[in-house]
């Protein structure tokens, strides 16, 4: 399985509708609410939006055809604690998480980047009406890592950071759908347990069926 690198950069202008982006705000179909979960205290909370991938942009790199080659794949997770909010209850750690700790949404009806698919950008703000997520980053894709890119963000990544041969039962053969590395920018600092990574895991059967509602996650530290 050949990984697809995510190369991040500050865009010169705002990314278009359903374009691949890291941070910023998700594009969602009309009437689709911002993804939420119920925490351990019974409070309703919003997931942290991580990124959205327009799968048409990776079609030429996905030589094994493991992913759909159209539509929008969007990743959310409970990672506020890794942003430095140490009061946040954290569901993702060094053990494979519950399904409720992440949310991966697939919208096959999304068109090409910049096309008007009728999707709406949902902006999450705090009580002071300030955008919660960091400013958006543009995503470009590459089969091989450029020498000047040091962030190991990747789709279909091999388990670089795993210190054992397989995942814990019953997840032994699960694949890494998306790997997110610790990194920082002008308005954020993301640190997964001493510069580790966040891995979204999917079963081979669900990957083959383009089913993304049972994804789990784990944080691995270097």
Per-residue pLDDT of 34-65, as tens digits, reads 999 998 888 899 999 999 999 999 999 999 99
Domain housing 73 = 5-220
Measured between alpha carbons, how far apart are the two ends of the chain, in Å? 23
For the chain, what percent of residues have pLDDT higher than 70?
94
Q: Residue 77: left if φ>0, alpha if ψ -120 to 50, beta else—which one?
A: beta
Nearest to 79 by CA among 67, 91, 62, 87: 91
Q: Which pLDDT score, from 0 to 100, does residue 50 have?
A: 98
Global pTM value: 0.94
Per-residue pLDDT of 75-112, as tens digits, reads 999 999 898 877 776 679 999 999 999 999 999 999 99
Q: Which pLDDT score, from 0 to 100, does residue 145 have?
A: 61
Report how many domains make up the chain.
1
d(CA 34, CA 122): 7
Cβ burial 133-145 (10 Å sphere, 16+ → b, else e): bbebbbbebeeee
């Amino acid at each position: 399985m050949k990984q697809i690198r995510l190369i991040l950069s500050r865009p010169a202008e705002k990314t278009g509708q359903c374009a691949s982006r890291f941070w910023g705000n998700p594009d969602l179909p009309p009437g689709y609410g911002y993804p939420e979960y119920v925490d351990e205290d019974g409070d309703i909370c919003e997931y942290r939006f991580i990124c959205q991938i327009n799968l048409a942009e990776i079609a030429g790199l996905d030589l094994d055809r493991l992913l759909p080659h159209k539509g929008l794949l969007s990743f959310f997770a409970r990672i506020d604690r890794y942003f430095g909010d140490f009061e946040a209850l954290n569901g993702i750690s060094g053990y494979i998480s519950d399904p409720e700790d992440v949310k991966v949404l697939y919208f096959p009806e999304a068109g090409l980047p910049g096309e008007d698919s009728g999707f709406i950008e949902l902006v999450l703000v705090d009580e002071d009406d300030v955008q919660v997520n960091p400013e958006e980053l543009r995503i470009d894709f590459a089969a091989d890592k450029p020498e000047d890119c040091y962030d190991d963000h990747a789709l279909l990544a091999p388990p670089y950071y795993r210190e054992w041969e397989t995942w814990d039962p019953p997840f032994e053969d699960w694949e890494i759908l998306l790997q997110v590395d610790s990194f920082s920018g002008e308005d954020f600092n993301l640190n997964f347990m001493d510069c580790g990574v966040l891995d979204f895991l999917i079963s081979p059967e669900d990957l083959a069926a383009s089913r993304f509602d049972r994804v789990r996650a784990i944080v691995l530290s270097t």
